[in-house]
A and B are shown apart, each in its own frame.
Chain A
C-alpha cells in the first residue's frame, strides 16, 4: 500500500513538472540555433553574440532564441546528423563549408531559393558570389554565407628584418619562398640538428596543407570528386608533396612533426617560425600578442594563383519547426548592420560585401580580400566523405615523415590514392 502511494505521488510530481513546461512554451516560440565552438571563444565575442540575440528577440516579441553550442573537434556534424535522424535537429544550423556536403546531399537542409525569391527585403547580390556558390547545387541554395577566410601566408616582419630578407610580395615563386625560409631558419649550433627558429611552421592538418597541392597544379580528386587516382598520385601533386616533405626533412626549414609537437606551442605565435599558412581567425591572437605581421598569397611556380576558402554559412533544416522565423534570423545575422560589428573582432571576413568594405584600406584586410577572387571551396563542400579522406591524408603525411625516407612520397601517394578510391567507391 505504501509503495503504491509512493508511486502515485511521484506520478503527480512528474505531471506537475510537465504542466509547467507546457505553460512556458505556450507563451513564447523557441527558435533553436546550432553553432560550433564553446569555452575557448573570446569572452568579448560571446558578449557580442548575446547582444545580437537580445536585439533579435526585441525585434520579434514572443520569440526566444536558444543557441545550442556543440564544442569539440569532429563532434559538430555527427551530433547534428544524429539529431536530424531522431527529429530533434534545431531550426537553424551553422554550416561549415568543409563538411557542407554531408548535410546537403542527405537532405538535412532546405532549399533557400523560395525564401530568397519571395523576400523583397533580401538581396543575394550583397554577398560575395563565389562564397555564396559554396552551398549551391544547380538552382538550389542551401546556405546564406555568414563569414569566411581564404588561407594566406602570414609572415613575421620582425624576423624578416632581422634576417635582412625582403617581405614576400604577391606573385612570389616557390623558389623565392624556399630561399627566404632558408635564410630565416636559425640553428642552435653548427651540427644543424635542431633549429631554434624555423622559416615556416607546419601543422599536419590536411586542410592546412591542401592549398600547396593546388598552387602547383595538383589535386586530391578529379574534377567530379569521384576518384583520387591520377590526381592525388599525379606528377603535379607528387612534386608538391615532395616539396612539402623536403621543407621538413631535407632543407630543415620547417619543423618535423616530432619537433612541432615538442615545441608544444604555436611556433609562429611564439616568434619561432617566420611564416605560417593560416586563416583570418589567427589574427585575433597575433594582434593580442602584438606580433608585427603581414600577409600574402601562397607562392607558386605555376601561373596558377589559388588558395582554399573556409566559410561558415547559415542554413534552415528540413525538419525545422519555424522555417519562416529561421529565415528572419538568418537575414538578421547576415545583414550589414550585424556583420560590421561581428567581424570587428577579427574572426573572419564578412560575406556581406558592404560590411567587408568597411574594413577596406587596411593593408592586411585588403590582402585577404584580394585572395577571395582566387579562392576555391574545400572538397568537403561537395564530397560527402571528404572529412574521412582528410584523415587518410593526415595519416599518409605521418607515414612519410616517420618512415625517415623509407617510404617514398610517390609510393605513399599511390597507396593513399587507392585507399581514397576505395572509400569513394563504396556505395
Chain B
C-alpha cells in the first residue's frame, strides 16, 4: 500500500499540466465570472459596486434578453432533433458495405474541418438572392428566386438551422457510425432469420443498441446549439429585427458594445444554468429509456 502511494507522484506529474491549464483558464474564470455577476462592473470604471442579484432581475425583466432566450430555444428545438435525425440517417447509409462508401464518408465530414467563419462566408453566398445557389436553382425551376433569406425575419433563423445541419453533420455521423459498427453482426443475423425487414432490423436492433450513443450525440448537439455564435456574428448580427439575436451573441454585445462585463457574466451564468438543466433532463429521460430498453 505504501509502495503504491509512493509511486503516485508520477501520476500527479502527468495530470498536473492539464489540471493547471483547466484551473487557470476554465475554473478560475468561471468562479471569477460568478463574482463579477454580483457586481455592477463596467470594464473601464474603477469601482465595481456590489449589487447582489440586481443584474439577474434586470436582465430577466429586459424584453430584449427574453427575446434572445426565446430565439435560442427556437434554434435548439429545431436544430437538435433535425440534426440528430439527419446525421443518424446518413450514418446508417454510410455504414453499408458498399464500394466507394469511404468517399461519401469523407465528403460528409469535410464541412467539419473548415472554420466556421469560412463556412459562414460560403453560406452567405449560397443564400444570396438572385445569384445565390438556392435562389438561382429556384429561378431555374421557375420560381422567383428573389428571397433574401438572411434579411427576412423568419427565413434568417431557418437558414441558420439549415446551415447547422451541414456543419454538425460530420462529427455526429462519425460517432453514430462507430456506434452502428459496434453492434454485433450476430444480432442482425438472428433478426434476419426471424424474418425482419431492413427497416425492422434498424428499428428493433440498431436503434435500441445505439441508445447510449444517441444520448451522447443529443447532449453534445444541444450544448453546441445553445452556444450558437459564430454564424450569427458573421451572417446576421442578430437581425433582421432581432430574430436571430441569440443569448451568446447578446452576451457578446453586452460585454463588448456596452462594456458591462458584470451584466454579461450574469447572462453567461443564466445560459450555463439553461444548458445544465436541459442536459440533465435529457440525461434522465434517456437513461430511463435506456434501462427500459435493456429490460425489454
Interface residues in chain A, defined as those with a beta carbon under 8 Å from any beta carbon in chain B? 3, 74, 78, 81-82, 84-85, 102, 106, 108, 194, 257-258, 261-264, 385, 387-388, 391, 395, 398-399, 402, 423, 427
B129 and A388: CB pair below 8 A?
A: no
In the bound complex, residues from chain B placing their C-beta under 8 Å from that of A427 are 40
Q: Dominant SS at the A interface?
A: helix
Chain B 255-267 near chain A by CB (<8 Å), digits 1 or 0: 0111100000000
Q: Which of B10, B128, B239 contacts A264 (CB 8 A)?
A: B128
Q: Which 5 pairs from chain A and chain B are nearest by CB?
A: A262-B129, A106-B44, A78-B256, A261-B151, A261-B148
B258 touches A3 (CB 8 A): no
Query: Complex: how many Å from CA A160 to CA B45?
Result: 53
Query: Given contacts A82-B43, A262-B146, are A402 and B240 in contact (CB under 8 A)?
Result: yes
Supplied contacts A261-B150, A262-B129, A385-B258, 13 more A-B pairs, CB within 8 Å: A74-B257, A78-B256, A81-B44, A81-B259, A85-B43, A85-B44, A194-B146, A258-B152, A262-B148, A264-B130, A398-B239, A402-B152, A423-B258
Q: Which residues of B contact A388 (CB under 8 A)?
A: 257-258
B122-162 near A? 1/0 per residue, CB < 8 Å: 00000011110000000000000010101111000000000
Report A-chain residues with C-beta under 8 Å of the C-beta of B239.
Answer: 395, 398
Nearest-Cβ distance from residue B55 to partner chain A, whole angstroms: 12
B residues less than 8 Å from A399 (CB atoms): 241
Count how many chain B residues have C-beta atoms less than 8 Å from C-beta atoms of the other chain: 25
Partner of A398, one of B128, B131, B241, B259: B241
Q: Which residues of chain A are near B153, meaning CB under 8 Å?
A: 402
| B151 in complex: contacting residue of A3, A84, A257, CB < 8 Å | A257
| CB neighbours of B43 from chain A (8 A) | 81-82, 85
A residues in contact with B150, CB < 8 Å: 261
What chain A residues lie within 8 Å of B1 (beta carbons)? none
For residue B258, give the distance in angstroms from its CB to the closest CB of chain A.
6
Kindly list chain A residues whose C-beta atoms are within 8 Å of the C-beta of B13: 3
Q: Does B284 lie at the interface of the complex (its beta carbon under 8 Å from any beta carbon of A)?
A: no
Taking a contact as CB atoms closer than 8 A, the residue among B10, B148, B259 that contacts A258 in the complex is B148
Find the residue from A194, A262, A395 having the highest chain B CB count within 10 A. A262
Q: Residues 203-240 of chain B: 1 if any A CB is under 8 Å from the residue's CB, otherwise 0?
A: 00000000000000000000000000000000000011
Smallest Cβ-Cβ distance to A106: which chain B residue: B44
Question: How far is it, in angstroms, between the C-alpha of A84 and the C-alpha of B43 when the chains are bound?
Answer: 10
Q: What are 17 of the A-B contact pairs (CB < 8 Å)? A: A3-B10, A78-B256, A81-B44, A81-B259, A84-B44, A85-B44, A102-B44, A108-B44, A258-B129, A262-B129, A264-B128, A264-B129, A391-B257, A398-B239, A398-B240, A402-B152, A423-B258
**Is B242's CB within 8 Å of the partner chain A?**
yes
Complex contact A395–B130 (CB within 8 A): no
Contact of B131 among A82, A264, A387, A395 (CB under 8 A): A264
Q: Is the CB of A395 within 8 A of B241?
A: yes
Name the interface residues of B22-49: CB closer than 8 Å to any CB of A: 40, 43-45
With a CB–CB cut-off of 8 A, which chain B residues contact A262? 128-130, 146, 148
Q: What's the nearest-Cβ distance from chain B to residue A402, in Å? A: 6
Residues of B within 8 A of A402 (CB): 152-153, 240-241
B42 CB to nearest A CB, Å: 9
The proximity string for B residues 66-102 relative to A, scoring 1 for CB distances below 8 Å and 0 otherwise, is 0000000000000000000000000000000000000
Which residues of chain B are within 8 angstroms of A84 by Cβ–Cβ distance?
44
**Residues of chain B contacted by A263 (CB below 8 angstroms):** 130
Residues of A within 8 A of B257 (CB): 74, 78, 387-388, 391
Check A395–B259 contact: CB distance below 8 A.
no
Expressed in whole angstroms, the Cα–Cα distance for A106 and B259 within the complex equals: 12
Which residues of chain A come closer than 8 Å to B151, judged between CB atoms? 257-258, 261
In the complex, chain B residues 159-208 whose Cβ is within 8 Å of any chain A Cβ:
none
**Across-interface contacts of A391 in B (CB, < 8 A):** 253, 257
Q: Give min CB distance, A397 to chain B, whole Å.
A: 10
Residues of A within 8 A of B128 (CB): 262, 264
Q: Which residues of A contact B148 (CB under 8 A)?
A: 258, 261-262
The chain A residue sitting closest to B124, CB to CB, is A264
A53 CA / B180 CA spacing, docked (Å): 61
The interface residues of chain A lying within 8 Å CB-to-CB of B152 are: 258, 402
Within 8 A of A (CB), among B240-254: 240-242, 253
A415 to chain B, nearest CB (A): 11
Which of B13, B44, B150, B242 has the most chain A CB within a 10 Å cutoff?
B44
Q: Which of B43, B45, B150 has the most CB of A within 10 A?
A: B43
Q: Give Cα A388–Cα B259 distance, bound, in whole angstroms.
A: 10
Docked CA distance A84–B45 (Å): 12
CA of A49 to CA of B259 in the docked complex: distance in angstroms? 32
Q: Which residues of chain A have C-beta atoms less than 8 A from B242's C-beta?
A: 395
Which residues of B101-131 have CB atoms within 8 Å of chain A's CB atoms? Answer: 128-131
Chain B residues contacting A81 (CB-CB under 8 Å) are 43-44, 259
| Residue of chain A at shortest CB distance from B258 | A388
Report how far A365 CA is from B83 CA in the complex, Å.
56
Question: Smallest CB-CB separation from B149: which chain A residue?
Answer: A261
A398 to B40: give the CA distance in the assembly, Å.
Answer: 31
Q: Shortest CB–CB separation between residue B43 and chain A, in angstroms?
A: 6
**Chain B residues in 8 Å Cβ range of A82:** 43
Q: Which residues of A contact B131 (CB under 8 A)?
A: 264
CB of A282 to closest CB in B, whole Å = 22
Nearest-CB residue, chain B, relative to A193: B146
Minimal beta-carbon separation of B121 from chain A (angstroms): 13
| Among B128, B148, B239, residue most surrounded by chain A Cβ atoms (within 10 Å) | B148
CB distance from B134 to the nearest CB of A (A): 13
